[in-house]
Chain A
Amino acid sequence: MAATRQRKEQAIQMLFFLFAAFSIVLLALILIFLFREGLPIFKTVTPIDFIFGKFWYPTYEPPEYGIWPLIVGSLVVTFIASAIAVPLGVLSAVYISEIAPASIKEILKSVIELIAGIPSVVLGFFGMVILAPWMQETFDLPTGLNIMNASLVLALMAVPTISSISEDALYAVPNEFKEASYALGATKYETIVKVIIPAALSGISTAVILGMARAIGETMVVLMVAGGAAAIPESLFDSVRPMPASIAAEMGEAPFRSGHYHALFATGIVLFFLTLAFNLLADYISNRFKEVGSATL
């Protein structure tokens, strides 16, 4: 009797393990099918020429499959977006966690959650119909669809990620740290800058990396507002074609299993590993420096 029950319990546990392991299976499937559709391009172009090739002319005859301009496009918009989003995200997290009165705190947390909830296609639309004409007129540009516009919209998308994870990290700093600092006569400002932020730094770094990963993988915004020129940019107001934009824009027109189709999947592989690297780095940092607390001092 007891033995049957135990066997049943073990079977149930095994079943749940299989469900949990399914995420790993999915990740493997994603890789397998990206490779299946993407690797054939390397019969016509070497991986080095594919990644560092400066010309992306997939529909020319003969076609050129170099995604370096797309990679540069992705990196440029991501870094500029981060330069805007990191201060905003971290400072708003400091405000929410350390300074704001309780009522404002709740409102701000909802504000950030709502920003995170706005569909990316809506933000892209906003960039197209409002920011682009404004930029074109104000700075007298040939087009308002450019790096700066895409970066601004991407920054707004990255703020919620950076802010909410940073806030968790700040919140997790033990109260004793603050109390000790106050007891030594430090002001609130000194306590925040010299004690709380350093103690939460690993969490804040994780937040920044995940925010950047979010920006680099975001598709609709760069598809709609980055302009779409597959060339290496020379100014902040040049238009670019980041990797996700190139995939989304061209997949519909690429003939099934043509070189172009395989090249777009291969671009997906590069994008996948780039964001994977960001995520693994974030995971490493948050685990490596997890132990904040009296025990680590």
Chain B
Amino acid sequence: MNLTSDNSITWRYAKQQVFFNIVRLAALLISAALGGLLLFIIASGIQAISWDFITLPPRDSMTKGGIMPAIVGTFYLTLGAIAIALPLGVASAIYLSEYARQGTIVRIIRIGVNCLAGVPSVVFGLFGLGFFVVYLKFGSSILSGALTLGILILPTIIGASEEALKAVPQTFREASLALGVSKWGTILRIVLPNALPGILTGSILGIGRAAGETAPIMFTAAAFFTAKLPESIFDEVMALPYHVYVLATAGTHIEETRSIQYGTVLVLVALVLGIDLIAIAIRSAMRKRKKW
């Protein structure tokens, strides 16, 4: 046998080594991209951060001062979005996981949820403008923005909740049903409590997503600048992602406000990734503690 032929063991392992290194390189590149990005965000944003930056409104045509109204606005929008999406999403997931039998209707609902998940965020923005702002006459407001964001994160919540419900062992349900508890009673007292951590994780990820979205609120809720904090759900608000966008692209003070832009980016990223990390931590704690 010729040891230098294509089939020699040495040659085959050499190929393997090359392949493994390429694959490692890909993983390394991705990690480096995240690392570099976070490093840049922290390094350039940290000097802008101060107590005043977080607690004061902007002044001097937004070239000085803080970003407090944008933080408050993002908080209201996100809270509204989750208040809308959570009940709807969990109820949909209960139907899909507990009641639905495989068939055409369920198949259609599933395709619908998948398609909804794939709708581009700017199209949600157009829909929010056409439906909530114009047709229902909510105007550009917290209400319109929160409804639009709520629809945007609905598929995320449905997906996560369904997965959490499916992870509850079938034996739990059978034991409850065997004791004479009705199906609804079983879902309410046995299935839902056991699925709660998973549902929670999904909702937190949804919150993170809603807090960081810009395109859906551009035409439905976000204001360039508001002098005072919102007093009702029909008021326009400032929001962190939109604030980054307008400061970086519009107006005559782009260079002057660089440090405010960096600071806002840092606050936004810390907020969103902080929320995501909480979800990841809950999930891994849950995996370790799982009783079944």
Contacts and interface: CB of A to CB of B under 8 A. Distances in A.
A124 B114 CA distance: 26
A175 to B, nearest CB: 20
B215 A275 contact: no
B183 A9 contact: yes
Given A17-B99, A187-B12, A120 B214 contact: yes
B98 to A, nearest CB: 8
A88 B22 CA distance: 10
Contacts of B248: 125, 128-129, 224
Interface string B237-257: 000011011001100000000
B246 to A, nearest CB: 10
Interface in B116-146: 116-127, 129-131, 134-135
Contacts of B124: 30
Interface stretch (B63-71, B167-175, B272-280): B272-280
B212 A20 contact: no
A58 interface: no
B100 interface: yes
Given A126-B40, A265-B126, A271-B120, A111 B31 contact: yes
B23 interface: yes
A290 to B, nearest CB: 13
A118 B273 contact: yes
Contacts of A27: 112, 115-116, 119
Interface string A96-139: 10011000000010111111011111111110111000000000
Q: Chain B, interface size: which category? A: 35 or more
B58 interface: no
A252 B182 CA distance: 54
B213 to A, nearest CB: 7
A118 B126 contact: no
Given A23-B116, A159-B30, A216-B120, A190 B12 contact: yes
B160 to A, nearest CB: 13
B92 A22 contact: yes
B27 interface: yes
Given A23-B158, A112-B30, A224-B245, A37 B126 contact: yes
A24 to B, nearest CB: 4
Interface stretch (B48-56, B192-200, B261-269): B261-269
Given A20-B92, A217-B121, A248-B125, A115 B116 contact: no
Main SS at interface, chain B: helix
Contact of A275 (B109, B119, B245): B119
A152 to B, nearest CB: 10
B155 interface: yes
A218 B131 CA distance: 22
Contacts of A17: 95, 99-100
Contacts of B212: 117-122
Contacts of A60: none
Interface string B211-235: 1111100110000000000000000
Given A24-B108, A265-B130, A280-B111, A95 B120 contact: no
A189 interface: yes
B135 A33 contact: yes
B109 A224 contact: no
Contacts of B135: 33, 36
B120 A88 contact: no
Contacts of B155: 23
B130 A37 contact: yes
Contact of B122 (A16, A30, A163, A219): A219
A213 interface: yes
Contact of A26 (B31, B126, B151, B265): B151
Interface in B2-47: 12-13, 15-16, 19-20, 22-24, 26-27, 29-31, 33-34, 37, 40-41
Contacts of A210: 118
B208 interface: yes
B113 interface: yes
A91 B130 contact: no
B225 to A, nearest CB: 14
Contact of A117 (B29, B113, B261, B276): B276
Given A128-B248, A247-B126, A88 B26 contact: yes
Given A118-B272, A119-B211, A122-B212, 8 more contacts: A8-B184, A20-B92, A21-B109, A37-B130, A99-B23, A117-B212, A190-B12, A268-B122
27 contacts: A16-B91, A16-B92, A20-B95, A20-B96, A23-B109, A26-B151, A33-B126, A33-B130, A37-B126, A37-B130, A88-B30, A91-B27, A92-B23, A108-B30, A111-B30, A115-B30, A118-B269, A120-B213, A121-B244, A122-B244, A122-B269, A128-B249, A189-B19, A218-B121, A247-B122, A271-B120, A279-B114
Interface of B: 12-13, 15-16, 19-20, 22-24, 26-27, 29-31, 33-34, 37, 40-41, 88, 91-92, 94-96, 98-100, 108-109, 111-127, 129-131, 134-135, 151, 154-155, 158, 182-184, 205, 208-209, 211-215, 218-219, 241-242, 244-245, 248-249, 258, 261, 265, 268-269, 272-273, 276-277, 280
Closest 4 CB pairs of A and B: A217-B120, A119-B212, A189-B16, A19-B91
